[in-house]
Structures are given as structure tokens and as C-alpha cells.
A and B are shown apart, each in its own frame.
Chain A
């Protein structure tokens, strides 16, 4: 089955940039979606289809996807961005939906 790998944690100072990566075999050929999950809450999509943002998501959240790595970038990080972030793809070969293991973003 298709596997997505994420670094377990990222620490960033307020105002700096957080970079979260999601690795997968030829992931650049798939559409990657990113979710933010705060403690005790349901996930919320922050980027979909590699780089699109839903309405209401700040422009500080951006995404890219190429080769074997997709990236979620959070610019000008704020305390409220502290959360777990998950990447997700649909594997058309198996019709399975796959999540990465998640990256915990800590704002110092």
C-alpha cells in the first residue's frame, strides 16, 4: 500500500517560516491535501490539490508538490498555528485514502 512519511515534529519561532514535508513514491503525480488538527478538535483542511487554499485559510499557508516530496509552508508563524499537520492523498491504484503520520508544529 502507498505510504506517506512525515517528520514527527517541527519547532519554529513566531514570525518565522515552518516547512513541513510529506514524502511518498512519485507523490508529485498525486494531489496532496493538508489538514491542521488542534487538540480535541476535528481536522480542518488548510491546503488541497497541492496548493489551493479553502476560503478562510490565511495566505500564510501554501503548498507545493514535486517528485517524491510535497511541502506545506506556513509563513509568519503565529502562536495559533501550533497544531498537528497531516498530509493525505488518494491512491487511485487501490482506491485507498492515505494519511501521513502527522507533524507536530510547536511555536517557541
Chain B
């Protein structure tokens, strides 16, 4: 059973950065892309980007380019998302999700709430 366990909730001030981690287990970490998806309160799902745990290569939606950094540490099978320059509209639950072999997300983390407030 694939398991993705995320870090806890964070409260940040505008302009700050936040780092969310995603610990993967029960599968071969380097074999599947990890994606980041966020959901603002009362809103739908918004895809942010992916990281290839094997190579460290990343790709993200244009709106996040320059503000989002996705990394991984294969020694501890953990992917991380850092978002800088936080604003109030970055308040959301951030999910990591494992991509299957055919472009859908077959396992999700439990979500990490990030609140941006002065």
C-alpha cells in the first residue's frame, strides 16, 4: 500500500516562504513522478508541478515559475515543495500525489494546510 505522509500545518506572514515535505513509502520512490496540487478554501484542485525523483528534473505551471522550488532527497524518499513570496491567495491545502503509469494520480498525501496571514 503506497503511503505519502506530509508535513504539518504552517502559518506564515506575507512575503515569507514555506516548505512542505512528502515522505513516500511502500513503493520504489524513483520510479514515479511526484506532483504537487493545491486547493484554496472552497475552491477546486490546482496543479502546480512535478518532480522526477530519479533525475531531480522538474516542471511547473507557468504561474508558479520563479516562485516554486521542488526538490527530492532519495536517501529518505522525500519530496519537498518550497513556495516563496507568499501572499494571502496562497492560503490553501497543498497535496503531494504520486503519478501512475498513465498520467493520473493514484495516491495522495493527506494534505498540508498553509495559512498566509499578517
Contact = CB atoms under 8 A, between A and B. Distances in A.
Contact of B104 (A37, A49, A98, A102): A49
B47 A96 contact: yes
B82 interface: no
Interface string B14-33: 00000000000000000000
A83 interface: no
B59 A95 contact: yes
Interface in B70-107: 95, 100, 102-106
Q: For the complex, would chain B's binding face be called helix, strand, loop or mixed by DSSP majority?
A: strand
Contacts, number: 54
A99 B104 contact: no
Interface residues of B, number: 20
B108 to A, nearest CB: 4
Interface string A18-51: 0000000000000101010100001111001100
A80 interface: no
Contact of A88 (B50, B59, B104): B104
Nearest to A34: B104
Contact of A33 (B44, B47, B59, B103): B103
B104 A48 contact: yes
Interface of A: 31, 33, 35, 37, 42-45, 48-49, 54, 84, 86, 88-90, 95-102
